[in-house]
Amino acid sequence: MLRKITVAAAQVGAIDLGADKKDTVERLIKLLREAAEKKVQLVVYPEATLTTFFPRHFIESQEELDKYFEHGEDITQSPDVKPLFDEAKSCGIDIVIGYAERTPDGTGYNTSVYFSAAAGKVISKYRKVHLPGRVEPFEDPNATNQLEKRYFKPGDLGFEAFRAPGLVNDAVKKADIKEGESTDGKGDPIMGMLICNDRRWPEAWRVYTLQGAELLMVGYNTGGYMSHLWGGKSIPPEQAEKEALFHSRLVQQANSYMNACFSISSARCGMDDGKYHLIAGSSIVDPEGHVVAESKTSGDELVVAEVNLALCRQGKERTFDYGRHRRIETYSLITQQTGLVEPELL
């Protein structure tokens, strides 16, 4: 039983506030060409890949803010970004890429899309549900902000799993079909996208894997050194980075295991503008929670692994066979209430 595909996290290093988007896209294309040489079929870029992580800045001018967003319905037609999708199609590689989306009605979302080379278009869009940070900037003008709640609305598309066509070839598909089963639609991987903070919320993973997801794709921008400036907590930079990497890896491994799925997580990392540090740690994790590939640098880097989606079955059919083991009658608080039953009690 083999359903192997070759995948990659395309980690992207520092991007300064004033970077030219064309230059950034050129870097992404370079990673894509490396992927093509390595016979990679799917490349996952980070969250908000096209610019610096601008929610760390309090930007009052709408005109300036809009520079960091992609406008319009179809990102594959954004002039600066179109060359990336054209290259993906010509290489026959699927890509996931995160960007700041401005809809025609002016709403901002922290978005990612799945571009299928076989379909020649975007076949799924996800908008980040769990926005961290605040609406108002810190009073201290030297503090590093996190203003996602100001610039974006929570995603309105839910967690919709989808199948990507063409990644698993017909011969492999047939080998995977049990006797007597229909072959309609079988074999194509069931996937879902998450963005950054979403990966810390087990609800997000579960909603995808209740739809059968076998592979989750996560892009992130996660503060390392600078995190000691958030909320007034002061710890040494090295310790802050180590702790941020630990948490990022921990949730990736545990949620992959508890949901019996592969995950690919891709970091925007390095030191933006010489002073804003983001952790690296891009990785590919298997359904047993083991890291099968990880980044070695804090810059542009392709992290490649061949994954066999059939390995999800061990978990999905035994320990995490939802149909036999989940007890939904005991979970009602999860959807009944957002926060604590009696928050004043804490």
Q: How far is the CB of 192 from a second copy (least distance, A)?
A: 12
Task: Give me the sign of the Cα torsion angle 251, 253, 254, 260.
Answer: positive
CA–CA dist 263, 220 (Å, integer): 13
Does 316 bind a second copy (CB under 8 A)? Our answer is yes
Strand partners, 310: none
Using the rule CB under 8 A, give the single segment among 18-26, 90-98, 217-225, 318-326 that binds a second copy: 318-326
Q: How far is the CB of 314 from a second copy (least distance, A)?
A: 8
Give the pair of three-digit tokens for residue 33.
Answer: 């060409």
Q: Which are the catalytic amino acids?
A: 47, 128, 196
Binders of a second copy in range 19-58 (CB under 8 A)? none
Strand partners, 195: 219
Neighbours of 56 (CB within 10 A): 23
Helix%, strand%, coil% for the chain, nearest 5: 35, 25, 45
Please state the three-class secondary structure of 98-150 as a single string.
EEEEECCCCCEEEEEEEEECCCCEEEEEEECCCCCCCCCCCCCCCCCCCCHHH
Residue 92 or 237 having the CB closest to a second copy:
237
Binders of a second copy in range 118-147 (CB under 8 A)? 129-132
Distance linking the first and last C-alpha atoms of the chain: 51
Task: Tell the burial category of 217 from Cβ atoms under 10 Å away from its Cβ (0-12, 13-18, 19+).
Answer: buried
Q: How far is the CB of 272 from a second copy (least distance, A)?
A: 21
Please report how many Cα atoms fall inside a 13 Å half-sphere around the Cα of residue 250, on the Cβ side: 8
Does 340 bind a second copy (CB under 8 A)? Our answer is yes
Residue 72 or 334 having the CB closest to a second copy:
334
Q: How far is the CB of 24 from a second copy (least distance, A)?
A: 29
Applying CB under 8 A, which of residues 77, 107, 239, 319 lies at the interface with a second copy? 319
Q: How far is the CB of 119 from a second copy (least distance, A)?
A: 19
Give the pair of three-digit tokens for residue 258.
Answer: 């508890």
Does 331 bind a second copy (CB under 8 A)? Our answer is yes
Compute φ and ψ for 197, nearest 5 degrees: -55, -30
Residue 81 or 193 having the CB closest to a second copy:
193
Q: How many residues bind a second copy (CB under 8 A)?
A: 70
Binders of a second copy in range 211-240 (CB under 8 A)? 211-212, 214, 231, 233
CA–CA dist 71, 62 (Å, integer): 13
Residue listed under structure tokens 């990785």: 283
Binders of a second copy in range 177-206 (CB under 8 A)? 181-182, 185-186, 190, 197, 200-204, 206
Does 171 bind a second copy (CB under 8 A)? Our answer is no
Binding site for a second copy (CB under 8 A): 129-132, 154-155, 158-159, 181-182, 185-186, 190, 197, 200-204, 206-207, 210-212, 214, 231, 233, 243, 246-247, 250-251, 253-255, 257-258, 288-289, 313-314, 316, 318-328, 330-346
